[in-house]
Amino acid sequence: MFIQNEVKFKNGMFTGMDASASGLTAQRKRIDIIAGNIANVDTTRTPEGGPFKRQLAVFASKNEFEARKFPFLPMKIKTQMNEPGQGVRITEIMKDPSPPRLKYDPGHPDANNEGYVAYPNVDIIKEMVDMISASRAYEANIMAMNSAKNIHAKALGIGR
């Protein structure tokens, strides 16, 4: 009985740090995706054919992702997995379905019959706003992680 309570305490004690750590990982990956979009803003030809397509990160709670990964789990466990504060995960990197930008440039090797070149559907301003948003979310997760560390340090110092 004592060991089970200790495990519950341990899981509860570090749940906030685990959630922040998952947020840090997800936002770092999101920043990498945004950087890739910016790097390919003028890529008119890809191995798949056509211009580069903007990529977007799809987020889901860590529990929702795990529940979908293991659909055969009993309902009691699935209910416990839906408790808040368990973290986040990128479930998919999808391509933006919006159409490419067309620019008139008849001398370009990728120009169509009318002289238009299909450029990626990447808007630098939108990407920079997303980059700022991702970096602020990253900073917020660092602050939450540091707060949790300070709380744990103070709790350990109570008995001194």
Cα–Cα distance list, 142 to 17, 59, 94, 126, 139 (Å): 10, 19, 27, 24, 5
Most trustworthy range by pLDDT among 64-68, 75-79, 84-88, 141-145: 141-145
Residue 106 DSSP symbol: T
Number of Cβ within a 10 Å radius of residue 33: 18
For residue 69, what are the domain limits?
A: 14-41+55-95+122-156
How many domains, the chain?
A: 1
- Residue 27 counted as domain residue: yes
- Residue 2 counted as domain residue: no
- Residue 78 counted as domain residue: yes
Question: In 1-152, where do the E strands start and end?
Answer: 55-61, 88-95, 101-104, 116-119
- Residue 31 counted as domain residue: yes
- Residue 100 counted as domain residue: no
* Mean pLDDT along residues 97-114: 94
At 140-153, the pLDDT tens digits run 999 999 998 898 88
* Mean pLDDT along residues 111-117: 94
Mean pLDDT, the chain, whole residue set: 84
